[in-house]
Amino acid sequence: MLFFYFYYYLYFMNILLLHQYYLEDNGSGGSRWNEFTKSWNQNKDLNITVLSGVINYTDTKIPKEYKNKLFVKKKQNDIDIYRCFVYEGYNSNFLGRLIGYFSFVISSLIVGLFYIDKKKYDVIIVSSPPLFIGITGYLLSFFKKIPFVFEIRDLWPESAVDTGVVKNKFIIYLSYKLEAFLYKKATLINVLTPAFKKSLVEQKNVNPDKIIYIPNASDFSLSDKYADFNCDSLKEQFGLSNKFIVSYVGAHGVANKLEQILETANYLKDKNTAIHFLLIGQGMKKDTLIAYSQKLHLTNVTFIDPVPKEEIFKYILMSDVCTSVLKKCDTFKTVYSNKTFDYMSCKKPILMAIDGVSRELIEEAQCGIFVEPENHLDFAEKVLLYYNNKELMFEHGRNGYIFAKTNFDRIKLADKYITEINAIL
């Protein structure tokens, strides 16, 4: 028995992951970390424990099994998940979201200090946003005397300020102070785009030696699994059998500015009745978007509730073209849209209504066409370009698949992440 424990602590890496939005099995939303941990879990020398929230960023209600509980421990794909309390009014308004962030900071800190397994962790990985989760990560790192890796999925608070979500100057000031503190205390910082690294080094004076780059990636296990999926029955289900389908998959929030898709649909509704838009997902603005669609009398737009990760690939494969969309602002020139990589893995051409590095990505891969953000006339013109040139559409789809397979394979990037972490231990 003593030999077993000696071997366990000497050879096993124990990872504690803090991610407020870690998905449930078959949940909808960003699955980056579900896929990374799944890949890592196949390595018998790695043990992963996750501290996450009880409500996702698009949800409006807490599932009954988590109601009025500090945490619930679950087993998910042989990984211990601690679902920690989050205020239920999280998606009601900005104040509700702020309370939701800090309720998770407190609950995850208590669980991390007093309730998680007593095994010795080697490293803590903190995935942000929200930025405030870094408070828990730093304190756990301090008390447990282990390094923490701070992952930047989005530049915050810049994105919240630029979209008008955060306006209070005092909160903005404190957020920037907290951000600088966490960058200083983190042993390693992972960024998801090259532009993030440039921003951290040139504008925030972060030591470039502590920055690594492990971007989002494509999940070829699912796209290849459904490569021969017959889409006809799914099209019939939504009355789209003879339609040219343009799909958006993702959050319906302030930052996404999906009104531009509805305005494109409004412009095209009398010009080409074959073109139909699908908006799949959930978010704070969805009810407003549905109301706007009704006001415009759009019969060429269908809203679909979030579907499980595995199922979403069927909808992407059913589509002719897919689109990535964000509000027009400078901060979003630094981001990669999560779903872009799923589109690429499904061989779908991309209408990229995001400038900056996302535009550079699809132009380098020759897998899509740039659309000027918030310009519905340009959007419509690019939709028609694909509609009238099926050969270009298929060529771009193939190019994206090959490029993603070479540069954004999830398994390869998961292995690279572990290599980088090992270097700091």
CA distance 226 to 101: 37
Same domain, 225 and 164: no
> Residue range 80-100: average pLDDT?
83
Pairing of strands 71-76, 79-84: antiparallel
Q: What is the pLDDT of residue 3?
A: 42
pLDDT band at 229 (very low <50, low <70, confident <90, very high): confident
Q: Over the chain, what is the mean pLDDT?
A: 90
**DSSP per-residue codes, 51-98:** EEESS-TT-SS--GGGTT-SEEEEEETTEEEEEE---GGGGTSHHHHH
How many domains does the chain divide into?
Answer: 2
The counts of H helices and E strands in the chain are 17, 14
Residue 49 dihedral angles phi and psi, to the nearest 5°: -125, 140
Beta bridge partners of 321: 246
Same domain, 102 and 174: yes
Same domain, 265 and 390: yes
Beta bridge partners of 15: 48, 123
Counting residues of the chain whose pLDDT is more than 70, the rounded percentage is 94
Given a cut of 80, whether residue 372 has pLDDT beyond it is yes
Same domain, 243 and 347: yes
Q: What is the pLDDT of residue 344?
A: 95
CA distance 158 to 164: 10
Same domain, 348 and 413: no
Using an 8 Å Cβ cutoff, are 127 and 19 in contact? yes
Q: What is the pLDDT of residue 225?
A: 82
Given a cut of 90, whether residue 197 has pLDDT beyond it is yes
Amino acid at 416: K
Q: What is the pLDDT of residue 311?
A: 86
Same domain, 259 and 389: yes
Q: What is the pLDDT of residue 171?
A: 86
Amino acid at 29: G
Q: What is the pLDDT of residue 21?
A: 92
Q: What is the pLDDT of residue 374?
A: 97
- Count Cα neighbours of 48 within 13 Å in the Cβ-side half-sphere: 26
Written as six digits, the tokens of 334 are 């630094």
Given a cut of 90, whether residue 337 has pLDDT beyond it is no
pLDDT band at 377 (very low <50, low <70, confident <90, very high): very high
Same domain, 12 and 89: yes
Region class of 25: left (phi > 0), else alpha (psi between -120 and 50), else beta: beta
pLDDT band at 248 (very low <50, low <70, confident <90, very high): very high
Q: To which H or E segment does residue 257 belong?
A: none
Q: What is the pLDDT of residue 230?
A: 85
Does the global pTM surpass 0.95?
no
Residue 37 dihedral angles phi and psi, to the nearest 5°: -65, -35
Given a cut of 60, whether residue 259 has pLDDT beyond it is yes
Using an 8 Å Cβ cutoff, are 87 and 113 in contact? no
Counting residues of the chain whose pLDDT is more than 90, the rounded percentage is 65
CA distance 372 to 351: 10
Q: What is the pLDDT of residue 26?
A: 66
Please name the residues in contact with 73: beta carbons below 8 A apart, sequence gap of 6 or more.
80, 81, 82, 83
Same domain, 287 and 212: no
CATH of the domain at 325: 3.40.50.2000
Same domain, 241 and 350: yes
Given a cut of 90, whether residue 92 has pLDDT beyond it is no
Same domain, 19 and 39: yes
Greater pLDDT, 26 or 36: 36
Same domain, 321 and 397: yes
How many Cβ atoms sit within 10 Å of the Cβ of residue 180?
Answer: 13
Given a cut of 90, whether residue 302 has pLDDT beyond it is yes
pLDDT tens digits for range 41-67 = 877 688 899 999 998 766 667 888 888
Q: What is the pLDDT of residue 58?
A: 66
Domain residues for the domain of 327 are 220-407
Same domain, 204 and 247: no
Q: What is the pLDDT of residue 124?
A: 97
